[in-house]
A = this chain, B = another copy of it.
Amino acid sequence: MFTSQTKVRVRYAHTDQMGYVYYGNYAAFFEIARIESLRSIGLSYKELEAAGIMMPVYENYSRYIAPAGFDELLIIKVFIKELPSVKITFHYEIYNEAAQLIHTGHTVLVFINRESRRPCRAPWQIVEALKPYFSA
Protein backbone atom coordinates (compact mmCIF):
# COMPACT_ATOMS: atom_id res chain seq x y z
CA MET A 1 0.00 0.00 0.00
CA PHE A 2 1.16 3.50 -0.78
CA THR A 3 0.56 6.24 1.78
CA SER A 4 1.45 9.90 1.83
CA GLN A 5 0.31 13.04 3.61
CA THR A 6 -0.22 16.68 2.74
CA LYS A 7 -1.12 19.75 4.76
CA VAL A 8 -3.85 22.15 3.71
CA ARG A 9 -4.63 25.44 5.43
CA VAL A 10 -8.33 26.33 5.65
CA ARG A 11 -8.92 29.73 4.06
CA TYR A 12 -11.75 32.22 4.49
CA ALA A 13 -12.75 31.37 0.92
CA HIS A 14 -13.37 27.77 2.02
CA THR A 15 -15.81 28.61 4.81
CA ASP A 16 -19.55 29.19 4.57
CA GLN A 17 -22.00 30.95 6.83
CA MET A 18 -22.27 27.89 9.09
CA GLY A 19 -18.74 28.90 10.14
CA TYR A 20 -16.91 25.87 8.75
CA VAL A 21 -15.52 24.55 5.47
CA TYR A 22 -18.29 24.37 2.85
CA TYR A 23 -19.06 20.74 2.07
CA GLY A 24 -18.24 21.20 -1.60
CA ASN A 25 -14.66 22.28 -0.94
CA TYR A 26 -13.39 18.90 0.23
CA ALA A 27 -13.10 17.75 -3.38
CA ALA A 28 -10.52 20.50 -3.98
CA PHE A 29 -8.68 19.38 -0.82
CA PHE A 30 -8.67 15.85 -2.22
CA GLU A 31 -7.19 17.17 -5.47
CA ILE A 32 -4.34 18.82 -3.58
CA ALA A 33 -3.69 15.58 -1.70
CA ARG A 34 -3.64 13.56 -4.92
CA ILE A 35 -1.29 15.90 -6.75
CA GLU A 36 1.10 16.21 -3.81
CA SER A 37 1.11 12.49 -3.07
CA LEU A 38 2.07 11.80 -6.69
CA ARG A 39 4.73 14.53 -6.51
CA SER A 40 6.18 12.85 -3.40
CA ILE A 41 7.14 9.87 -5.58
CA GLY A 42 8.41 11.95 -8.45
CA LEU A 43 5.23 12.05 -10.52
CA SER A 44 4.03 15.31 -11.97
CA TYR A 45 0.37 15.30 -12.90
CA LYS A 46 1.11 18.20 -15.22
CA GLU A 47 3.71 16.16 -17.08
CA LEU A 48 1.40 13.16 -17.28
CA GLU A 49 -1.13 15.41 -19.00
CA ALA A 50 1.57 16.76 -21.29
CA ALA A 51 2.41 13.16 -22.15
CA GLY A 52 -1.14 12.67 -23.39
CA ILE A 53 -2.76 11.05 -20.35
CA MET A 54 -5.92 12.48 -18.90
CA MET A 55 -7.38 11.34 -15.60
CA PRO A 56 -11.01 12.39 -15.33
CA VAL A 57 -12.83 11.60 -12.10
CA TYR A 58 -15.26 8.68 -12.22
CA GLU A 59 -16.52 8.66 -8.65
CA ASN A 60 -16.09 10.80 -5.56
CA TYR A 61 -17.23 10.15 -2.01
CA SER A 62 -17.07 12.26 1.14
CA ARG A 63 -18.01 11.37 4.71
CA TYR A 64 -18.26 14.40 7.01
CA ILE A 65 -17.37 13.40 10.56
CA ALA A 66 -16.61 16.77 12.14
CA PRO A 67 -16.32 20.26 10.69
CA ALA A 68 -13.08 22.13 9.91
CA GLY A 69 -12.70 25.77 10.87
CA PHE A 70 -10.98 28.79 9.35
CA ASP A 71 -7.17 28.83 9.55
CA GLU A 72 -6.89 25.23 10.72
CA LEU A 73 -3.94 23.36 9.27
CA LEU A 74 -5.47 20.07 8.15
CA ILE A 75 -3.50 16.92 7.48
CA ILE A 76 -4.74 14.82 4.59
CA LYS A 77 -3.52 11.24 4.52
CA VAL A 78 -3.70 9.55 1.14
CA PHE A 79 -3.85 5.81 0.61
CA ILE A 80 -3.54 3.89 -2.65
CA LYS A 81 -4.49 0.34 -1.74
CA GLU A 82 -4.22 -1.32 -5.14
CA LEU A 83 -1.87 -0.96 -8.08
CA PRO A 84 -3.79 1.04 -10.69
CA SER A 85 -5.12 -0.81 -13.74
CA VAL A 86 -7.69 0.97 -15.89
CA LYS A 87 -8.49 3.15 -12.89
CA ILE A 88 -6.83 4.42 -9.75
CA THR A 89 -8.47 4.91 -6.36
CA PHE A 90 -7.25 7.41 -3.80
CA HIS A 91 -8.54 7.04 -0.25
CA TYR A 92 -8.31 9.96 2.17
CA GLU A 93 -8.38 10.64 5.89
CA ILE A 94 -8.39 14.24 7.03
CA TYR A 95 -7.23 15.17 10.52
CA ASN A 96 -7.55 18.54 12.23
CA GLU A 97 -4.91 20.26 14.37
CA ALA A 98 -6.07 18.28 17.40
CA ALA A 99 -5.28 15.06 15.46
CA GLN A 100 -8.99 14.23 15.31
CA LEU A 101 -10.24 12.35 12.23
CA ILE A 102 -12.80 14.74 10.74
CA HIS A 103 -13.32 13.46 7.23
CA THR A 104 -12.87 10.37 5.08
CA GLY A 105 -13.44 9.81 1.40
CA HIS A 106 -12.19 8.40 -1.83
CA THR A 107 -11.91 9.29 -5.49
CA VAL A 108 -11.78 6.95 -8.46
CA LEU A 109 -10.11 8.29 -11.58
CA VAL A 110 -9.83 6.61 -14.95
CA PHE A 111 -7.05 6.88 -17.52
CA ILE A 112 -7.90 8.36 -20.89
CA ASN A 113 -5.66 8.62 -23.91
CA ARG A 114 -5.99 12.22 -25.01
CA GLU A 115 -5.62 11.48 -28.69
CA SER A 116 -8.11 8.63 -28.93
CA ARG A 117 -10.30 9.98 -26.10
CA ARG A 118 -10.63 6.34 -25.04
CA PRO A 119 -9.92 4.64 -21.72
CA CYS A 120 -6.49 3.11 -21.41
CA ARG A 121 -4.38 1.30 -18.84
CA ALA A 122 -2.40 3.14 -16.17
CA PRO A 123 0.67 4.74 -17.77
CA TRP A 124 4.00 3.08 -17.04
CA GLN A 125 5.23 6.17 -15.19
CA ILE A 126 2.58 5.66 -12.51
CA VAL A 127 2.89 1.88 -12.38
CA GLU A 128 6.69 2.03 -12.06
CA ALA A 129 6.55 4.65 -9.32
CA LEU A 130 3.94 2.76 -7.30
CA LYS A 131 5.22 -0.79 -7.78
CA PRO A 132 7.74 -0.68 -4.93
CA TYR A 133 4.86 -0.15 -2.50
CA PHE A 134 3.07 -3.27 -3.66
CA SER A 135 5.89 -5.79 -3.96
CA ALA A 136 5.20 -9.08 -2.24
Query: Interface size on A (CB < 8 Å)?
Result: 36
Roughly how many angstroms separate A30 CA and B27 CA in the complex, as a whole number? 14
SS of A interface (majority):
mixed
Roughly how many angstroms separate A75 CA and B57 CA in the complex, as a whole number? 21
Smallest beta-carbon distance A8→chain B, Å = 10
Inter-chain contact B59/A64, CB cutoff 8 Å: yes
* Set of chain B residues within 8 Å of A24, measured between Cβ atoms: 13, 24-25, 27-28, 30-31
* Set of chain B residues within 8 Å of A19, measured between Cβ atoms: 17
Roughly how many angstroms separate A70 CA and B71 CA in the complex, as a whole number? 23
Inter-chain contact B70/A64, CB cutoff 8 Å: no
* Set of chain B residues within 8 Å of A71, measured between Cβ atoms: 35, 44-46
* Set of chain B residues within 8 Å of A45, measured between Cβ atoms: 71
Roughly how many angstroms separate A23 CA and B11 CA in the complex, as a whole number? 13
